[in-house]
Amino acid sequence: MMSREGVVMGVTSAAAIWMLAGLGAAVGFGYFTTPIILAVLVVAILVGVDMLEKTFKSMRRGVHRSDPPPPT
């Protein structure tokens, strides 16, 4: 995750990297069915989030970003 001008960026990327690490560990321990199911679920969620961000303008602003206060 990164922060640029008070706006948190890359939350989805960081979460995807951690998820891939967990799936890789599960495969390494010999579990195969669960990581495949979870991988499909994660891809569906990421595609759904992308569709929501394209649909709603308020979701494109970034995490924890607020509008600047009006000038005084």
pLDDT of residue 67: 56
pLDDT higher at 67 or 38: 38
pLDDT of residue 7: 62
Taking only the tens place, the pLDDT of each residue in 5-63 is 666 666 777 888 899 999 999 999 999 999 999 999 999 998 888 888 788 776 666 55
pLDDT of residue 49: 83
Task: Give the side-chain half-sphere CA count within 13 A for 52.
Answer: 9
pLDDT of residue 56: 78
Any idea where the domains of the chain sit in the sequence? 2-60
What are the C-alpha distances in Å from 12 to residues 7, 27, 44, 46? Answer: 14, 22, 13, 8
- Looking up tokens 């990327």 gives 13
DSSP sequence for the chain? -EEETTEEE-HHHHHHHHHHHHHHHHHHTT--HHHHHHHHHHHHHHHHHHHHHHH-GGGGS-BT--PPPPP-
